[in-house]
Structure 1
Amino acid sequence: MNRILIKNAKIVNEGTIFEGDVLIEDDLIVEIAESISAKSSQCKIIDAEGNYLIPGAIDDQVHFREPGLTYKGDIESESKAAVAGGITSYIEQPNTVPNAVTQEILEEKYKIAAEKSYANYSFMMGATNDNLEEVLKTNPKNVAGIKIFLGSSTGNMLVDNEATLEKIFSSTPMLIAVHCEDETTIKNNLEKYKEEFGEDVPVTVHHLIRSEEACYISSSKAIALAKKTGARLHIFHLSTAKEMDLFTNKIPLEDKKITAEVCVHHLWFTNEDYATKGNLIKWNPAVKTANDRKVLWEALLDDRIDVIATDHAPHTLEEKKLPYLKAPSGGPLVQHAVVAMFEAHHQGKISIEKIVEKMCHNPAKIFKIEKRGFIKEGYYADLVIINSGLPWSVKKENILAKCGWSPFEGFTFKSRITHTFVNGQLVYTAFKVKEIRAGKRLLFDR
């Protein structure tokens, strides 16, 4: 039996922080108490030394690029980066090559992950204008949900047939996650800036091309359709102040039919950073203004926004160095997301309890993930120890994403992850990922 005792931890769970010990047996948490004795010489003891112990983060939106785009990243490389960053479970998106739009292709991704993944995994089923039959075959017990692109992004999976959309929304009992940007608005904006700049459109207008209006039109339509059909809707990577008026904090999360996510980059950067970061912070939806960022923070803290995620989407540095119109959107974030949020805590923006709520508890609740996202007896031992006073700088040599760069390069974080456990196995320690592929397929209580 694998038996590990974590001593002297500041345990963060369900809105409280308390000092205590956690006993792991095999893949489960079996005891949480103020003080636990080892009772066996076979028990490995890890002294948390008064540092924070949090549930492993659950990233509900990543693009790990396998199959078909593995020169950018793959399940092995990106899940390694995830566990080094304190993310122990991820939900990956369908715009790989081929797109995961049939049950057969979807299951192929699960087979790859079963062999390669260091973190727990699930894969979204992709919807298109003509695959409703395949979508309806999706098993709600072992697939996270259905993904619909209402704006085109990497992979060209745009669903723009309104009759098809209504059919998917009205006939799918599963959670539907959407990327919301209005294609017509974006195309019109792009033409306007091409007329002004020719083919040398600067990245500094990215947020004006993929504009607030493009986001709001699409999000409001998706919400109206969800209300009309009764669908369970989750809106990914919200980026504007205007969209925050569409969401409520008046009801408990468990009762919400429409939930919202914000990504680390929209909480961290603003359009002013394009001048120095360029295409490295080119994402879809775009990083917007300082006021947008301010209102996103307000909505996160007052619970109109339910989840913090990454939209981790690596591209090579060579691709990112292309002119704006040719450079792809997306960037690597899983290794630095948790410590970036701890940095926001150091800046007085958010409590550690709230970080855990938004990155661990709420994704588990929204997707109804079985026995994960909390530090509870009987739950899987997905755990992370964080030293909030151990500064380190992001450098090329410590970046684990296959693409080898980060928008945080050169930044010094005040907090550092020291240990990551996945299913009771210590997969990251001494700032190295061990060769233990401990990830399991996520299951859902529905």
Structure 2
Amino acid sequence: MIIQGTLVSSTGTSHSQIRIEGNQIVEVGAQLGEPDFTFSDDCLIFAGMGDIHIHARDDIGESQTYKEDFCTAGAAALNGGVVHVADMPNNPVPPITDESYHAKQEHLKQRNPPIHFTLYAGIGPGTSPLTFPVPYKAYMGPSVGDLFFKTLEQLDETLSQYRGCNVSFHCEDPILLDEHANAATHEERRPAECEISATRFALQMIEKYDLRGKLCHYSVGEGLPLIREARSRGLKVTCEVTPHHLYFDQSDLTDQNRGKMQMNPPLRTIADRKAMLAALREGTLDYLATDHAPHTLEENEQGISGQPHLDTYGAFVTWLILDQKFTPEQAARFCSENPGEFVNPYIAPLKFGKIEPGYTASLTVLNLKRPVTIQREDLKTKCGWSPFEGITFPGSIEAVFVEGQKTR
């Protein structure tokens, strides 16, 4: 198979061709032969985009699959142009041991979703590392499920066993959360100081135990200098940002939409939102990661936090490129290359993130001249709603290739 069009990487764009054999890219060049698929100059071809922070709500107990399962999450991802995802471990049956992790892997295999899933293992009070390499997630404060720490000292004691591991942190200080528990609004109950305090602690843990650390769904501008300073000292730390923390802020909240607009960490100020856009542009933030949380509308109204974003990933990227003036090269970095680099150590022989020989032939093609209005009936997520309903993005998904096969 030969694909022709404008190829995008973090180092530039070029009008070129890709030759695919089986599920692998074998050659990239200007004149490889008669193309099977040709994409116009309205389109950009990216290495398949990856979302390294989602909640599929599926495990061997299947108690939450009314919200989502691996197959519906995979369908929503494809709908949004995403070819691989990494699923978080805060399930009712969390993957925290070799046995429970393998059980979730086998359950995933039986589901046979349409894209690749990487699974995080959980870190909780009293857990220890698995006997094989996996990415880990540590929840500092309460989230969905029971896999969290009540004090930072308890987390420190547990992390001492994870030296050198790849650990992602949900940065909210549990003690400060408790101190603000009786505040009037969700945003006041989880204020910026909780994230800033937890950021300091996470960076200390990354340094103390030589971790490959990642800070999840970052949202507070005041914390960015801490991250930059840590990197200047050689700490191995990367950071995510979500679509909702880039697009919405507290000025968007109303009495009517508070349930749909509740997430952890919560929406921040206009200044924080602008700081996240700037930090993503200049590279302090490394991944566009959705924190896809497919709770039902009824659950959101009852106070369960989170928004679904897989269906709208690629359309949102066109908003970043066309409305916010990100370059395609920047988008390739935080949507394709960095997510691929994050998962590749765990998924051989697959290899995501670049349009180069030896990489998996998964591609995301965006059309920058065909706007799309987000409508509920077009969504594939089982929870069936999006915070972007009624919003028109300036571009859309033109095509998706998964492991050498055109899927849409």
TM-score by length of 2: 0.92
Q: Please tell me whether residue 227 in structure 1 is matched to residue 222 in structure 2.
A: no
- Aligned to 1:408, which of 361, 366, 388? 388
CA displacement at 1:216 relative to structure 2: 0.8
Determine which of 188, 194, 215 is the counterpart of 2:179: 188
Determine helix, strand or coil for the equivalent of 2:169: strand
> What is the letter of the counterpart of residue 8 of structure 2?
V
Q: Match of 1:152?
A: 142
1:251 CA displacement: 6.0
Letter in 2 for 1:264: P
Query: Which amino acid is the alignment partner of residue 348 of structure 1?
Result: Q
Separation in structure 2 between the aligned mates of residue 91 and residue 249 of structure 1, nearest angstrom: 28
How far has the Cα of 1:211 moved from its partner?
0.6
Residues 112, 252 of structure 1: alpha-carbon distance in 2 compared, 3 angstrom cutoff: farther
SS of residue matched to 2:51: strand
Q: Secondary structure at the match of 1:122?
A: strand
One-letter identity of the residue aligned with 1:186: L
**Cα separation, partners in 2 of 1:62 and 1:86, compared to 1, 3 Å:** same
Amino acid across the alignment from 1:160: K
Deviation at 1:313, TM superposition (A): 0.7
SS at match of 1:291: helix
For residues 236 and 161 of structure 2, the distance between their equivalents in structure 1, rounded to whole angstroms, comes to 15
CA distance in 1 between counterparts of 2:64 and 2:191 reads: 28
Matched, 1:121 2:117: yes
Instruction: Give 1:278-357 correspondences, 5 Å limit.
Output: 278-322=258-302, 327-357=303-333
Q: CA deviation at 1:164?
A: 4.7
Q: 1:267 aligns with which of 242, 246, 253?
A: 246
The Cα RMSD (Å) is: 2.0
Whether contact under 8 Å (1:28, 1:377) holds in the other structure is yes
Matched residue of 1:406: which SS? Answer: coil
Map of 1:5-16 to 2, 5 A cutoff?
Answer: 5-7=2-4, 9-16=5-12
Task: Assess if the C-alpha contact under 8 Å between 2:364 and 2:399 holds in 1.
Answer: yes
Q: 1:419 aligns with which of 393, 399, 402?
A: 399
When residues 221 and 321 of structure 1 are mapped into structure 2, their CA distance, relative to the original with a 3 A threshold, is: same
Opposite residue 182 of structure 1, the aligned amino acid is D
Deviation string, structure 1 residues 120-150 (Cα, Å, up to 9, x no partner): 1111111111122xxx22411xx3x111100
Higher mean displacement: 155-164 or 226-235: 155-164
Query: Are the counterparts in 2 of residues 384 and 421 from structure 1 also a CA contact under 8 Å?
Result: yes
In the alignment, what sits opposite 1:206?
A: 186
Once residues 232 and 328 of structure 2 are traced to their aligned partners in structure 1, the CA distance between those partners, rounded to angstroms, is 20
Q: 1:393 to 1:94 in 2, by over 3 A?
A: same
Q: Pairwise mapping of residues 13-412 of structure 1 onto structure 2 (< 5 A)?
A: 13-38=9-34, 45-50=36-41, 51-67=43-59, 68-115=63-110, 116-132=112-128, 136-140=129-133, 143=134, 145-160=135-150, 162=152, 164-172=154-162, 173-193=164-184, 205-248=185-228, 256-275=235-254, 277-322=257-302, 327-369=303-345, 371-412=351-392
For 1:124 and 1:131, the matched residues in 2 are separated by 14
Percent of aligned positions that are identical: 27
| Pair 304,114 (structure 1): closer, same or farther in 2 beyond 3 Å | same
CA distance in 2 between counterparts of 1:249 and 1:219 reads 12
Query: Residues of 1 paired with 2:126 and 2:395: CA distance?
Result: 47
Residues 197-235 of structure 1, C-alpha deviations (whole Å, 9 max, x = no match): xxxxxxxx3222111011111111111122222222111
State the alpha-carbon separation in 2 of the partners of residues 118 and 175 from structure 1.
Answer: 26
For each residue in 1:20-71, what CA deviation from the matched residue of structure 2 results, as whole angstroms up to 9, or x when unmatched? 1111110001111112214xxxxx8112123110011111110000023100
C-alpha distance in structure 1 between counterparts of 2:151 and 2:189, whole Å: 23
User: 1:367 Cα deviation (Å)?
Assistant: 4.3
CA contact (8 A) 1:249 1:303 kept: no
- CA distance in 2 between counterparts of 1:178 and 1:58 reads 19
Q: Name 1:439's counterpart in structure 2.
A: none
The Cα of 1:13 is off from its aligned counterpart by: 1.2
Contact kept in structure 1, 2:140 and 2:150, CA below 8 Å: yes
Using structure 1 for the length normalisation, give the TM-score. 0.85
Report if aligned partners of 2:344, 2:352 keep a CA contact under 8 Å in 1: no
Query: Which deviates the most, 302-311 or 341-350?
Result: 341-350
* Paired residue type of 2:93: P
Q: Report SS of the residue matched to 1:403.
A: coil
Change (3 A) 1:149 1:138: farther
Contact 1:127 1:159 in 2 (8 A): no
Whole-angstrom CA distance in 1 between matches of 2:344 and 2:334: 14
Unaligned runs of 5+ in 2: none
Any conservation in 1 of the 2:87–2:120 contact (CA below 8 Å)? yes
The answer to whether the 8 A contact 2:71-2:114 is kept is yes
SS in 2 for 1:335: helix
- Which segment is superposed worse, 257-266 or 100-109? 100-109
Q: Does structure 2 retain, via aligned residues, the 8 Å contact 1:66–1:97?
A: no
C-alpha separation in 2, matches of 1:47 and 1:349 = 26
The alignment of Structure 1 onto Structure 2 pairs a total of residues equal to 397
Superposed CA deviations along residues 340-368 of structure 1, whole A, max 9, x for unmatched, are: 12112211341111011011111222444
Structure 1 segments unaligned to the other structure (5+ residues)? 39-43, 194-204, 430-446
Contact kept? 1:249, 1:302, Cα under 8 Å = no
